[in-house]
Amino acid sequence: MTQDHVWRQIEQLLSSAGEKVVLVAPFIKKEVFQAALAAIPACVRDITCVTRWSVAEVAAGVSDPEIAELAAADGRVTISLCHNLHAKLYSADDRCMVGSANLTGKATGRVPAPNIELLLEIPMDHPEVQRMFTAIDATAVPGTVDLARKIREQADLLQADEDRPRVLVAGQDEQLEDWVPETRNPERLYRVYNGRHRNVGSDVLAGVLRDLACLDIAPGLEERAFGAAVLIRLRAMPEVRRLVEAGRLNMDDLQRELLVGGERSTEQAKRAAETVAEWLRYFDEVHLVPVGPWEIRQGRELS
């Protein structure tokens, strides 16, 4: 078996297409994407690509949003983004292969020391294949050239930050256990997420980008949907669960929760508690009430 066995499987499948091709992979690199397009006969005018673009993953070099420019130049390709995508599938007309291989050099064996991967052919009408496509259709957003450029710009800024978080992996949420909001002005989050950060200072911008990387929110959302996604992750913080469960959260209790583990000083925990409260006030219907130690309470403040 040759080193590029998986690539040969993909190439032979794509070259057999007559009408339609579908490429589904979380991680896609430009060189392999270009080779895949070259393998597809010119008579095929319908090529669908489903992938995911995470700023942290792009910064780590595992995926290239620039495939959007290749797709636009080709003229036959539509790119969709599914943020929780983990499946890998390649189809040509009614033939379909599924398995573990992304469209990257190491996964396909197009570079030295490749991964050990697996692709198997199954019917395109298999119920699990159709279930996957239904799930993708429910959440996918267009992978435009403009969005790709915003993702790359944020990834380059994040890559320059020595304190950037680890790469986030689809389907894993362990980072939420240790994450605490950093930026003191949550209204900046959507502006930076949407590529509007020219007037944000470099130190502040680095903190916002770290928060966005830890939140790991799907790209391309409108502001209301973005806020809802932030709130879900905010409420998942162990320190905030009491507010969710009881409708109120004492600020002193929140500060003590943030001191657990000894990694923060009292002053750092106090500042972190104030930042969490500000995020909750911005993204949720809560307000501060001065009863002994201040409390965060669910619901709008009555005038």
pTM for the model stands at 0.83
Helices vs. strands in the chain: H and E counts, helices first: 14, 10
Strand, coil or helix: 23: strand
Please list, residue by residue across 128-162, b when 16 or more beta carbons sit within 10 angstroms of its beta carbon and e when fewer do: ebeebbeebeeebbebbeebbebbbebbebbbebe
Q: Which two tokens stand for residue 224?
A: 């209301």
| Weakest mean pLDDT among 39-48, 111-120, 178-187 | 178-187
Residues 181, 275 contacting (CB under 8 angstroms): yes
Among the CATH numbers 3.30.870.10, 3.40.640.10, 2.30.29.30, 2.60.260.40, which is that of 5-146?
3.30.870.10
Banded pLDDT at 303 (limits 50, 70, 90) = very low
Question: For 2-27, what is each residue's pLDDT tens digit?
Answer: 889 999 999 999 999 999 999 999 99
| Weakest mean pLDDT among 18-32, 63-77, 93-107, 157-171 | 157-171
pLDDT above 70 for 36:
yes
Question: What is the DSSP pairing of strand 295-298 with strand 286-289?
Answer: antiparallel
Ramachandran angles phi, psi of 85, nearest 5°: -65, 135
Q: Please give the pLDDT value at position 90.
A: 98
Mean pLDDT of the chain: 87
Question: What is the DSSP pairing of strand 46-51 with strand 20-24?
Answer: parallel
Mutual angle of helices 266-283 and 251-259, in 10-degree steps: 120
Rounded distance between C-alpha atoms, residue 168 and residue 54, angstroms? 8
Banded pLDDT at 173 (limits 50, 70, 90) = very low
| Weakest mean pLDDT among 32-46, 74-88, 278-292 | 278-292
The residue assigned the tokens 């583990």 is: 261
pLDDT above 50 for 172:
no
Banded pLDDT at 298 (limits 50, 70, 90) = low
Percentage of the chain with pLDDT > 90? 62
Q: Which two tokens stand for residue 19?
A: 């009408």
Mean pLDDT along residues 169-175:
46
Where do you find CATH 3.30.870.10 in the chain?
5-146
Q: Which residue did the predictor score with more confidence, 93 or 269?
A: 93
Banded pLDDT at 89 (limits 50, 70, 90) = very high
Handedness of CA 252, 253, 257, 259 (dihedral sign): positive
Rounded distance between C-alpha atoms, residue 27 and residue 86, angstroms? 9
pLDDT above 60 for 49:
yes
pLDDT above 80 for 300:
no
Residues 24, 85 contacting (CB under 8 angstroms): yes
Work out the burial of residue 300: count CB atoms within 10 Å of its CB; fewer than 13 is exposed, 13-18 middle, 19 or more buried. Answer: exposed
Q: Please give the pLDDT value at position 171.
A: 43
